[in-house]
Amino acid sequence: MAQTSTIIAPSFKSAHFIGIGGAGMSGIALVLHERGFDVTGSDLKTSRYIRQLTRAGVDVRVGHEAKTIDEVMPDVVVVSTAIPDTNPEVVRARELGIPVWPRAKMLSALSQGYTTIAVAGTHGKTTTSSMCATMLDRMGLDPSFLIGGIVEGYDTNGRNGKGSYFVAEADESDSSFLYLDPNVVVVTNVEADHLDHYSGIEEIEATFVKFMNLVGEDGTVVVCGESSHLVDLARSTGLHVVTYGFDASCDVVCTPDAAGHGLASRFGVKLPDGTERQVTIKSNPGRHNMLNASAALTVAWAVGEDTEAAAQALSSFEGVRRRFTHVGDVRGVTLVDDYGHHPTEIAATLNAASSLDFKHVDVVFQPHRYSRLQALANDFADAFAQADKLILIDVFPAGEMPIPGVTSKMLADLVAERHPGKRVLYAPDRATLMGYLDAEVEEGDLLITMGAGDVTQVGPEYLDHVAEANRDGR
């Protein structure tokens, strides 16, 4: 049954978000606004998230100016990890003695008094947290949620529910998830990433252990049993740990249906009490998404909810935008867009794609951050093993300065060297890319655009390119 709790109202009345257009920041700002707080924000340019906020009535300024702080005079300023200390609004806020909080501290303030479910991991956390939120909502429990992506069926990344549950995607990129106060922690995996912040995998693992410890003696740590090392890390906390995975040794066992179901996945989940539930995920194929759904159902079991109702609700999950999202069909080619930007995510998505009924799996990939590409170049080179054709476009810097020699052309050459015979191309501009797509992608193919940057625009651009060619009779 649903948890009962006393919601604790934050002590401040107004907040200004610098970098409000980010996926994480915008959701927090939206929920705070929905709770009746005075919310303002600024960002360098407008975006889908900013348009959502302005429609809701939030005052968002385009550009960062010190005078904005004097005009809005917030009780607290919230910053994203992309905002440097030299930002003029940050500088002015500190001159005026206004507290400057990282976004996770505000997220923690919003979750006080709720039964908080925090989902973390190098990859899979957006999908898994979205599954948890959808499941609880469609059970009639009206959770609040803050997710780093647009949840399909809700058309938002944040919502202020009236129920007692709070689902949060916990971002490990800068260790700020340590501000949270969760009752249940889910960790999907721990791998090397965000090496612009961490010194290496040892520091990353130590930080995740601190995160798991946040649940305290009465909480539950839910971890993927596919990684014995992750299980060891979790059990080192001495807390209540529940594992999920395909192996019978896990506390929660996922058993895939052997029959193919197109883009859907069907599987059984055996829970620690011996009950078995059937789940169908209709638009997110692959074993990795079966694991994500098993984690969500484990959460329902851990908090004492009806797991049969939870399985039915979970089966209504419609996906997360940019997680194997169908963009369109043209010339007999199916276009899909995916956020995968880490080698493990890419390999998992391509493994799922290769099991589908397409002639070829073709990929347009945009590396995200020079530091990530430099640190994981060899892993990236092998991640595309199941792609039939690969086209690389230039790195999306995400605020980083270029690193000499670390380029998409370098990655293209490395993939070709390590996988002789694979068709690998580098497109230095959009015109070249469109030409490659015309020449390389065939009827019956699946074309996946992948990456965390503006590669998401390539699919729609290609649809427009083909439509224009048809009008011109080409």
Number of Cβ within 10 Å of residue 11's Cβ equals 8
Cβ-based neighbours of 20, under 8 Å, separated by 6 or more: 26, 29, 41, 42, 43, 49, 50, 53, 58, 60
123 marked among binding-site residues: yes
pLDDT in tens, the chain (474 residues): 344 444 455 678 999 999 998 878 888 999 999 999 999 999 988 888 899 899 999 999 999 999 999 999 999 999 987 788 999 999 999 999 999 998 888 988 888 889 999 999 887 888 899 999 999 999 999 999 988 777 877 778 888 999 999 999 988 777 778 888 899 999 998 886 656 667 788 998 999 999 999 998 999 999 999 999 999 999 999 999 999 999 999 999 999 886 655 667 889 999 999 999 999 987 776 788 899 999 999 999 999 999 999 999 999 887 676 677 888 888 889 998 988 888 988 988 898 788 777 899 999 999 999 998 999 999 999 999 989 999 999 999 988 899 999 999 999 999 999 999 899 999 999 999 999 999 999 999 999 999 988 898 999 999 998 888 877 765
The phi and psi torsions of 264 (rounded to 5 degrees) equal: -85, 160
* Annotated catalytic residue within 40, 116, 126, 349: 126
At 263 the pLDDT is: 64
At 352 the pLDDT is: 76
Whether residue 86 lies in the annotated active site: no
Number of Cβ within 10 Å of residue 199's Cβ equals 8
pTM over the 0.75 mark: no
At 354 the pLDDT is: 82
Type and span of the H or E element at 61: strand 59-62
- Closest CA relative to residue 348, chosen from 437, 287, 410, 395: 287
54 marked among binding-site residues: no
304 marked among binding-site residues: no
What span, in angstroms and rounded, lies between the C-alpha atoms of 327 and 292?
Answer: 23
* Annotated catalytic residue within 68, 89, 105, 125: 125
Question: What region does 395 belong to: left with phi over 0, alpha with psi -120 to 50, or beta?
Answer: beta
126 marked among binding-site residues: yes
At 108 the pLDDT is: 87
CB 201 within 8 A of CB 191: yes
Whether residue 125 lies in the annotated active site: yes
CB 123 within 8 A of CB 295: no
Query: Would you call 422 helix, strand, or coil by DSSP?
Result: coil
The phi and psi torsions of 86 (rounded to 5 degrees) equal: -85, -5
Edge-to-edge strands, sheet with 100-102 = 59-62, 38-43, 14-18, 76-79, 100-102
At 260 the pLDDT is: 56
* Annotated catalytic residue within 89, 169, 172, 345: 169
Q: Which residues pair with 450 in a beta bridge?
A: 338, 365
At 33 the pLDDT is: 93
What sign results for the dihedral spanned by CA atoms 47, 53, 55, 60?
Answer: negative
Distances (CA, A) of 275 to 14, 44, 249, 297, 470: 47, 51, 16, 12, 56
CA-based end-to-end distance of the chain: 62
What span, in angstroms and rounded, lies between the C-alpha atoms of 89 and 208?
Answer: 32
Whether residue 126 lies in the annotated active site: yes
Tokens found for residue 179: 């501000």
124 marked among binding-site residues: yes
